[in-house]
Chains A and B, each alone.
Chain A
Amino acid sequence: MTSPAGAQEGQEGREGAGARAHGAASLAVEDLVAGYGEVRALNSVTIMASGASITAVLGANGAGKTTLLRAISGMVRPRSGRILLDGADRAGRSPEDMARAGVAHVPEGQGVIAELTVEENLRLGTMSWPGVARRRSDRGAALAEAYERFGVLADRRRKLAATLSGGERQMLVIARALIARPRVLLLDEPSLGLAPRIMTQVMDMVVRLSRESGITVVLVEQNARAALAIADHGVVLNLGRVVAAADASTLAADVALRHHYLGF
């Protein structure tokens, strides 16, 4: 690997004059309370993520991991608490607004629109770009870059997304999220239902994306071992509360915590 400075240079060169909105963001969730009807899925949750880092959100089924992502991306309206994106409180904004503010949310297992072609799915990534003038000049370049990075998608650009395999769909969703040029990427179970080898590829890709593009990644995973292996920080949720937050290596080394909450 190159030095951080070198990576920075390479990034600039590849992107050219494009209006790349990537860059270190800071995401802070403070005292967030959210739920569905009578159920309180999140209870005073506070997490921080910033810069080119990966934060793994771990926990058992029903711990509130998915709800946390849905609250950040605006799909669930929080009852109280703050969601700060670069210091500005955006709690309660619509998903459209959050997407335009630079938050890309890849929901679990349903991110592609099967009735659209691969290319059309990718073009959805440009919908959150600001301004109309930029889209036309930049769209082709963004698609070309995605095809270069994900060769398997280039071969199938005119095919319906329904014809893709599970792993290819996951690549498509991640490629689309990247075209949106997010500053914060929320990934919900990207490895779900994938063969181990494909899962490794997807995880590697997540690491590369975070390092190369400086995206702040929040990763929700059932597979705690795999998630902690690539993450910088980890947050463990249990029944809607944060029970542990530390460096990923610290969490992975904490045997009691692993046994108790993470099952490995």
Chain B
Amino acid sequence: MVEFLQFTLSGISFGMIYAAIALSLVLIWRGTRLLNFAQGGMAMFTTYIAIEVIYHTGSYWAGFVCALAAGVVLGTVAQLVVIRPAQGKPELNAVIITIGLLVLLEGLAGIFYGGQFRSFPAAFSVTGLHVGSTALGVSRFDVFVAAAVLATTLLLAVGFRYTSAGLRMRAAAFNATVARLSGIRVARVITVGWALAGLLGALAGVLVSPSTFLYPNSMDTIFVFGFTAAVIGGLDSPLGAVIGGLLLGVALSYAGGYLGSQVTALVALGILVVVLMIRPGGIFSGAQVRRV
């Protein structure tokens, strides 16, 4: 029973990271129907920037903030410089550009920082918390991970729901034609989507790296899990992405805990297949209301 609780809590903590990646993929997908394969690479790169800042300033929080800022800048620049020119061309072009961007970022990271594993500091203690004498299997840092992603997600949700900028983003995602005819600069909205996605990816990068080490390919697996979470959620739904991330995190935690960590990737694939068989649009795909 205690084991079950431990697996659940650590699953939630990892699930929040998958949720952050999933959410970043959804933000870009909704606007342009483009899957950003470079999302993990961008997160890896901003985490290297964080490590440099932490090394030079000695402050974790300086590195944390710089990573998020770098995520925003990287997302914006990537969209403006390499993605926007591919708009209006066959969809595959942009997909391949994101793969090229991934290879470029991983290559640059290898050149600048070398291929060795580097440890990344955690903001809070990583020793397990206890209730009485029972170990919970989560640390103060795990709580911080969950809280940070949750706070960011809620902030985004409130922004989407209640601000004019949020309405512009939703309108552009649902119906770009009507949005443009209403005077919304959709191209600018898409760039903002990439900036927010960059921010979420950067957040996921600094939050996951204390548990995985940092190296040029360190985010690849996380990206695949984040992608799986996004597909479970339906790729279109921010709420679905978060719930998909949590479900996947908990499921993988049980699989790793009860069956052994070598099966987690296999279980993720199994979940993906099952979800796509039963609900190809994802669990939280909205009813098709677009066509009248």
Known: A113-B174, A113-B175, A123-B167. A169 touches B180 (CB 8 A): no
Instruction: Say if the beta carbon of B268 comes within 8 Å of chain A.
Output: no
Instruction: Say if the beta carbon of A124 comes within 8 Å of chain B.
Output: yes
Instruction: Say if the beta carbon of A225 comes within 8 Å of chain B.
Output: no
Q: Would you give the shortest CB distance from A180 to chain B, in whole angstroms?
A: 7
Instruction: Say if the beta carbon of B33 comes within 8 Å of chain A.
Output: no
Known: A114-B292, A116-B170. A180 touches B183 (CB 8 A): yes
The residues of B that contact A137 with a CB separation of less than 8 Å are none
Instruction: Say if the beta carbon of B178 comes within 8 Å of chain A.
Output: yes
Instruction: Say if the beta carbon of A109 comes within 8 Å of chain B.
Output: yes
Contact A115 B174 (CB under 8 A): yes
Q: Range of interface residues on chain B?
A: 20 to 34
Which of A75, A111, A128 is within 8 Å of B183, CB to CB?
A128
Question: Could you mark each residue 166-189 of chain B with 1 if its beta carbon is under 8 Å from any beta carbon of chain A, else 0?
Answer: 011011001101111111111000
Contact B178 A124 (CB under 8 A): yes
The residues of B that contact A160 with a CB separation of less than 8 Å are 289
Known: A124-B182, A128-B183, A160-B289. A75 touches B167 (CB 8 A): no
How far apart sit A62 and B100, CA to CA, in the bound complex (Å)? 43
Instruction: Say if the beta carbon of B134 comes within 8 Å of chain A.
Output: no
What is the interface size of chain A, counting residues whose CB is below 8 A from a CB of the partner? Answer: 33
Instruction: Say if the beta carbon of B262 comes within 8 Å of chain A.
Output: no
The residues of B that contact A129 with a CB separation of less than 8 Å are 183
**Segment touching B, from A92-100, A140-148, A250-258:** A92-100
Contact A94 B180 (CB under 8 A): yes
How far apart sit A95 and B178, CA to CA, in the bound complex (Å)? 10
Instruction: Say if the beta carbon of B164 comes within 8 Å of chain A.
Output: yes
Instruction: Say if the beta carbon of B56 comes within 8 Å of chain A.
Output: no
Contact B182 A120 (CB under 8 A): no
The residues of A that contact B170 with a CB separation of less than 8 Å are 115-116, 120
Contact B182 A180 (CB under 8 A): yes
Instruction: Say if the beta carbon of A3 comes within 8 Å of chain B.
Output: no
The residues of B that contact A109 with a CB separation of less than 8 Å are 292
Contact B292 A107 (CB under 8 A): no
Which of B164, B175, B182 is within 8 Å of A128, CB to CB?
B182
The residues of A that contact B89 with a CB separation of less than 8 Å are none
Contact B184 A75 (CB under 8 A): no
Instruction: Say if the beta carbon of A105 comes within 8 Å of chain B.
Output: yes
Q: Residues of B at under 8 Å CB distance from A?
A: 164, 167-168, 170-171, 174-175, 177-186, 286, 289-290, 292
